[in-house]
Amino acid sequence: MTLIDRYIAINFLKAAAVVLVLLLVLFSFLALTDELDDVGQGSFTTVDAIAVVILTLPTRIIDLLPVTALLASVLGLGALANHGELLALRAAGMSPWRIARGLLLLMTVVVVTTMVARATLIPQVERQAQEYRSKTLPQTALGGAEFWSRHENRFIRVGGVDFGRIPRDIEIYELGVRGRLQRLLQAHKADIVDDRKWLLHDVEERVLGEDSVQHKRMATLSWQSFLTPEQMATLIAPAHALSVFDLYAYIHEMEGSGVDTRQYQAMLWQQLSLPTALFAMTLLGLPFVLASMNSRTPGFRVLLGGVAGIGFYLFDQITSHLSTLLDLPPAPTALAPSAVLLLLAVIGISRTA
């Protein structure tokens, strides 16, 4: 990276830091407002609410990166244009693609860091946030990998969750009169078919009578879950918190089991489209600035960048939901918004060359 590349990248980073801090403050405040609504439920306190907001910061940062990249590109390059530095670079014969090189090198580092964080950091901190949220639920405990819950005379223990979505090492206890154990189910793992139905695998059933125990082994067993949606949200990781590897492994594991994985296929391809989106957003700021060096104010550039960023976010969310609702192919549907944006950026830069 040359001195010019570093100088352009530093201006981009300064603008990105300002934009990201402002957006994080706004969205973290909104998230804290939501978490504070649960204070007082169970043992959930204000400190727990703040902890949840802090733990979900990495996810929030990644979600805001595309818009941040566009606004940082517009502001960072706009600052160079306002001081005549961008005009001097163009007068010296530097092409728009040469100017963009420093940004692309920097964005490559950002993309690699983001993908590593998605695979390692995000699942861990989201799991910790789930542990704090579990304090709002009665008769439910989540600690480390283990989950316990109770409903009337039934208890369930889950030893862990594979790929964020598949409960394993399951024990289900049913008590009779005077709290006496009546039935015990043990299963290696379970497929969550829907909110109320689990399909248990490698099941051992023990029914305890007054003076005998009936023992049975089954390959599978359908079990009606008593867990509420809130308890399920504590046990099972949200789709956005899963890494690319967990999503792929979960989809592969569920093939042929009857579980609808379209949502997770869409999420997988949406995560894989993030690098394209970041490069596209970064490049899109360059034609904005080059085309308006002499005629537009910084405020107008920011407005254009903000409108483009919001438009991309809405387009991306709409296509993601359409993929699930209309059963569209997840890969092209998820990649389309980023690909269209990248094409527009390339066309815009070529026209300003």
- Tens-of-pLDDT digits for all 353 residues of the chain? 688 888 889 999 999 999 999 999 999 999 999 999 989 888 899 999 999 999 999 999 998 999 899 888 888 888 888 888 888 888 888 888 888 888 999 999 999 999 999 989 998 898 889 889 888 888 888 877 789 998 888 999 999 988 888 899 999 999 987 778 889 999 999 998 877 889 999 999 999 887 788 899 999 999 999 988 888 888 888 777 888 888 888 888 887 676 777 888 888 888 998 999 999 999 988 887 877 665 555 566 666 666 776 777 777 777 766 766 777 788 888 888 888 888 988 888 888 76
Domain covering 138-227 in this structure, CATH number: 2.30.30
Domain boundaries, the chain: 3-127+265-352, 138-227
Residue 305 exposed, middle or buried by CB count within 10 Å (0-12, 13-18, 19+): buried
pTM score, whole prediction: 0.82
Q: Helices 274-290 and 57-82 meet at what angle, rounded to 10?
A: 20
Distance CA 174, CA 152 (A): 9
Which residue shows structure tokens 């542990």?
Answer: 131
